Structure 1
Amino acid sequence: MESIYILIPLSIILAFLIGYFFWWSGKNGQFDDLEGPAHRIIMDDDEYHPETSEAKPTDSAAEEKYDQRQS
């Protein structure tokens, strides 16, 4: 029962802190554009870079090691 004397003031302080941070985020424009990030991730503005068919140096080195192990 004695812990209620600590829990009630703590819960009131926590409620005021949550309310203050909610008010602060609204004042600073956190909730101005709620749909923009969701649509921005879908937009494809990247340039298309086709894959080249040239072999990479690491590919040939890996093939040589594989061939040596098979022998």
Structure 2
Amino acid sequence: MKKRLKVLFSILILVFVITGCDRTPKPEPSEPKPSDTTVDPGKSPVIHGATDKTIFRGETFVPLEGITATD
């Protein structure tokens, strides 16, 4: 019984070692693509609809319900 456990454990370790030694090269990170969106660096985004909410026990709460942002 002990011999079977040793063999099973050895095979399991061997499988982990073989699968953990992946020799495929990692792809080089590519340059980010330029965006067509223009951003005014002096302007901050405006968030609309963010007000205080009262929530009672048992009610469902959707945190972003009615919230919009413009940039």
Q: Is the pair's TM-score, using the shorter chain for normalization, greater than 0.5?
A: no
Greater helix share, 1 or 2? 1
TM-score by length of 2: 0.32
- Which protein shows a greater Rg? 1
Say which structure, 1 or 2, has more relative contact order (CA 8 Å, 6+ apart).
Answer: 2
